[in-house]
Amino acid sequence: MVVVGLNSGEINSSAALVVNGIVKNAAQEERFNRQKFTSQFPSSALDFCLQDAGLSFKDCDYVAQAWNPGAAWHKFDGLRSVHRRDRAEYFYSIPDNLFKHADRIPGDWVQMSFSSELPPLYFVKHHLSHAANAFFMSQMEEAAILTCDFRGEFECTTFGMGQGNGFKIFDKQQLPHSLGLLYATFTELLGYKPDNDEWKVMALSAFDVDASKITEKIKTTYRLLENGKLELDESYYKGAHIDTPKLYTQKLVDLLGSREVLPGEELDEWMLCVAKGMQTAAEEIASHYLAHLYEYTRCENLVVGGGFFMNSVFNGKVLERSSFKRFQVPFAPSDAGNSIGAALYVSHVIHGQPRKLPSWSSPYLGSEFDDQAIKEVLVRRHISSRYEKNSARKTAELLARGEVVAAFQGRMEFGDRALGNRSILADPRSPEVKDKINSAIKYRESYRPFAPVVLEDKAQVYFDVPEGFKSHYMEKVRPIRKEFHEKLPAVTHVDGSGRLQTVTKDTNPWLFEVVTEFEKITGVPIILNTSFNVNGEPIVRTPDDAISNFYNSGLENLVLGCYFVDKRRNYSA
């Protein structure tokens, strides 16, 4: 059974291919058209998925789109369905009229067949796609499921339970009472782009300021209900009304000091307090949801999905703030991952494809270029390079000398985080390297933190984590032990925390070897990792992308497969 998954028309469009219940590959369209978070139809990503698997579109049994427009059929739209503008609108107007005569309106998904040239097309609800991605990509036979984001068709939060080959949603929260909306509102109030820059605000929330007064004011703008739900006071939040500019009202502005931040304004204490207060409020709401979910399911396993769970700060606190004992976040919990989720929903839930629990779910699902392909690009672009058979050891040697190295290895990661294959790497012991990467290489805000990559069996030595801790996808922030704050300045955030990526030989052999060799030289089993891109651009996909990014930034070292490029040297001379 071959199922194509699509997240099309939504932010960060993507395509995925699921064969017999297993995710074969997946890619985001932004990596091909170089438009960050593009919502264009993922044509290039789909072509890659099919070609990579040696298939053509006629080999596909089903297509799954991670949004169900049939949700709108709950209310008959006479304006459109009676007075069509052109015959293409029959695709909407005929079903809309017919459902006036039906006993039941479709809820979770809609299936449509157009012709023998196209496989049957399933439109799967947004939050069902999030839930399917969270549960089926986990290593849990059963788990409680929480999804949370700005909005789906109507839902913004769902509570469910997964077992074996399926799952059930037993409760949900609809707009306007959305935690994702709350987070986006304060993102915009602070001068950032909502539904895009929330993680910048999360980084600001770590600063040591007294935000108690602002936090209490923010908490007056919502109520936590006894039924486990959230109620936003709409006199402060108007984001559910899509015909109005700004997500917030003047009343919210007045409550917090009559100030709205313009993009690019210099950081000050008020902005830090608002960020900290909002993060505190968001964690209170999310913990409230978790308590409701646990009370209903009494299951000790938890999986989560939706854009809110890109919040690695809260992810690192989930087990401390809830009764759950085990917790997993997929590598792409945001909308990009819904191409995977929709395809898995069609495969497992609708068509009963047996589920196979993997030992782990690899995020390395994208484009790959071998050394021969890399060499051809280097020759074509007349770039001097040096071949090193053991590229991992050579990379570690460069890092130990204080060099910053851009790495292009193996299959491209899927999701919004680079996990070693399209990464910029550095020595975490260097006090200068953080500012150098932010200012001269990434061209981004100076306060933005970088992730420590640590050998998984050494994580407990350097970080406040339980035995057996895993964070393969850089999805959890945890405290760095105090005795290492000054020894690891490049990866220690202002509050003494770090967004961990734990690595093993199985999860990423090349990155594991780099960190292992770095430990042999320095005694430290940790390196710095950040995505291989500059501010505002997608992560690089091809050798050409990597070379262009390299020469358009302050980077000096690049390793593509086994080929090393140094701007300061001409290896062919």
Q: Is residue 186 part of a domain?
A: yes
CATH of the domain at 62: 3.30.420.40
Q: Is residue 364 part of a domain?
A: no
Last residue of a domain, one of 329, 355, 379: 329
Residues 405 and 299 in one domain: no
The predicted pLDDT at position 466 comes to 93
Residues 163 and 298 in one domain: yes
Q: What are the φ/ψ torsions at residue 303 (nearest 5 degrees)? A: -125, 150
Residue 525 to residue 453: CA distance in whole angstroms: 8
Structure-token pair, residue 337? 């991952």
The predicted pLDDT at position 242 comes to 67
CATH of the domain at 406: 3.90.870.20
Q: Which amino acid is at 16?
A: A
Residue 336 to residue 27: CA distance in whole angstroms: 9
Q: What are the φ/ψ torsions at residue 512 (nearest 5 degrees)? A: -60, -45
Residues 412 and 538 in one domain: yes
Q: Is residue 465 part of a domain?
A: yes
Q: Give burial (CB, 10 Å; 0-12/13-18/19+) of 534.
A: middle
Last residue of a domain, one of 76, 96, 126: 126
The predicted pLDDT at position 111 comes to 80
Q: Is residue 278 part of a domain?
A: yes
Residues 405 and 538 in one domain: yes
DSSP 347: I
Residues 167 and 121 in one domain: no
Instruction: Please give the tally of structural domains in the chain.
Output: 3
Q: Give the angle 249-254-260 at the CA atoms, nearest 5°.
A: 70
Residue 174 to residue 195: CA distance in whole angstroms: 18
Last residue of a domain, one of 277, 300, 329: 329
Q: Is residue 302 part of a domain?
A: yes
Q: Is residue 560 part of a domain?
A: yes
Residues 170 and 62 in one domain: no
- Is the peptide bond preceding residue 452 cis, with omega within 30 degrees of 0? no
Residues 437 and 290 in one domain: no
Q: For 102-131, write each residue's pLDDT tens digit.
A: 666 667 877 877 777 789 999 999 999 999
Residues 150 and 117 in one domain: no
Q: Give the angle 32-438-550 at the CA atoms, nearest 5°.
A: 45
Residues 517, 392: contact at Cβ < 8 Å?
yes
How distant, in Å, are the alpha carbons of 52, 53, 194, 484 from that of 411? 11, 14, 30, 33
* Predicted confidence pLDDT, tens digits, the chain (573 residues): 999 999 998 889 999 999 999 999 999 999 999 999 999 999 999 999 999 999 999 999 999 999 888 776 666 666 566 776 776 677 777 777 777 676 666 678 778 777 777 899 999 999 999 999 999 999 999 999 999 999 999 999 999 999 999 999 999 999 999 999 999 999 999 999 998 889 899 999 999 999 999 999 999 999 999 999 999 999 999 988 866 789 999 999 999 999 999 988 999 999 999 999 999 999 999 999 999 999 999 999 999 999 999 999 999 999 999 999 999 999 999 999 999 999 999 999 999 999 988 889 999 999 999 999 999 999 999 999 999 999 999 999 999 999 999 999 999 999 999 999 999 999 999 988 888 887 877 766 767 788 999 999 999 999 999 999 999 999 999 999 999 999 999 999 999 999 999 999 999 999 999 999 999 999 999 999 999 998 889 999 999 999 999 999 999 999 999 999 999 988 775
- 115: helix, strand or coil: coil
Q: In which residue are the tokens 């097309």 written?
A: 121
What does the radius of gyration of the chain's CA atoms come to, in whole angstroms? 24
Residues 490 and 433 in one domain: yes
Residues 144 and 58 in one domain: no
Domain of residue 240 covers 138-329
Q: Is residue 253 part of a domain?
A: yes
Q: For 513-544, write each residue's pLDDT tens digit.
A: 999 999 999 999 999 999 999 888 999 999 99
Q: DSSP string of 192-228?
A: S-TTTSHHHHHHHTTS----HHHHHHHHTTEEE-TTS
Residues 509 and 393 in one domain: yes
Q: Is residue 92 part of a domain?
A: no
Work out the end-to-end distance of the chain between its first and last CA atoms, rounded to an integer number of angstroms: 54
Question: What count of residues does the chain have?
Answer: 573
Q: In which residue are the tokens 């074969």 written?
A: 24
Residues 197, 207: contact at Cβ < 8 Å?
no
- 101: helix, strand or coil: coil
Side-chain half-sphere CA neighbours of 486 within 13 A? 1
Residue 390 to residue 370: CA distance in whole angstroms: 15
**Region label for 389, one of left (φ > 0), alpha (ψ between -120 and 50) or beta (otherwise):** alpha
Residues 282 and 305 in one domain: yes
Residues 1, 353: contact at Cβ < 8 Å?
yes
Residue 55: which of 17, 28, 27 has the closest Cα?
Answer: 17
